[in-house]
A and B are shown apart, each in its own frame.
Chain A
Amino acid sequence: GQNIDQPTEMTATEGAIVQINCTYQTSGFNGLFWYQQHAGEAPTFLSYNVLDGLEEKGRFSSFLSRSKGYSYLLLKELQMKDSASYLCAVNGNAGNMLTFGGGTRLMVKP
């Protein structure tokens, strides 16, 4: 089966750094994606990890450890517009489909 866990909610201060964790147990693994979703909108792609290590893209970085079934999304220099849900999704073996975690609602406060 597929099991993807991430915290339900997090709060952080503008200008700070926040780390959103994701652990997964899936039948097969072909990569992990992070998406950002603002309320009422479709998810937008943030990052993709398939090999262990850190992928940096501007203020956003994503880390993967396949042996631990663990990833995190790191957001630096937080801005108010970063308040959104962040979805961790794993591409397993079957059918090239993504299985999503429950999402983490991040609230950035002044």
Chain B
Amino acid sequence: GAVVSQHPSRVICKSGTSVKIECRSLDFQATTMFWYRQFPKQSLMLMATSNEGSKATYEQGVEKDKFLINHASLTLSTLTVTSAHPEDSSFYICSARAGTGITEAFFGQGTRLTVV
């Protein structure tokens, strides 16, 4: 299957700092990428849909000024958690789908963010 690379896999940062997470589709072009957050023992919650060359679409309750998403190319999307707080500590996962048809989503490895 297609490969989606996400890094860093783990990051620890101080409260008030910003953290950038990268998501790359390595062997296909991803017009759309999705960013999820997952708290322990819970399912994936969609945060935003990232479309190449346009502004991301955020789900209700997700602060767009806090979670900055950039999708500058067909193979790269980034999520920046700004002014991180301990409650932002979570597992962040990106996924990408090839093309616009109904295809399986390929997931990145996930990023474990810990804010201290």
Q: Considering the complex, which residues of chain B in the window 82-116 have a beta carbon less than 8 Å from any beta carbon of chain A? A: 91, 93, 95, 97, 100, 102, 104-110, 112
Among B43, B57, B95, B108, which residue has the most Cβ atoms of chain A within 10 A?
B43
CB–CB A99/B110 < 8 A: no
Q: How many residues of B contact A (CB 8 A)?
A: 27
Rounded to whole angstroms, the CA-CA distance of A13 and B12 in the bound complex is: 38
CB–CB B49/A97 < 8 A: yes
CB–CB A105/B104 < 8 A: no
Q: Which one, B41, B42, B44, B46, contacts A43 given CB within 8 A?
A: B44
Q: Considering the complex, which residues of chain B in the window 4-35 have a beta carbon less than 8 Å from any beta carbon of chain A? A: 6, 32, 34
Asked if B1 is at the interface of the complex by the 8 Å CB criterion, the answer is yes
CB–CB A101/B43 < 8 A: yes
Q: Which one, B43, B44, B45, B107, contacts A44 given CB within 8 A?
A: B107
Q: What distance in Å separates the Cβ of A25 from its nearest Cβ neighbour in chain B? A: 16
CB–CB B109/A87 < 8 A: no
Given A42-B110, A97-B49, A48-B43 contact (CB < 8 Å): no
Rounded to whole angstroms, the CA-CA distance of A91 and B49 in the bound complex is: 14
Among B6, B34, B105, which residue has the most Cβ atoms of chain A within 10 A?
B105
CB–CB B102/A91 < 8 A: yes
Q: Which one, A96, A101, A103, contacts B97 given CB within 8 A?
A: A96
Query: Shortest 7 CB-CB distances between A and B: which pairs?
Result: A42-B107, A103-B43, A102-B43, A45-B104, A100-B44, A42-B110, A100-B43
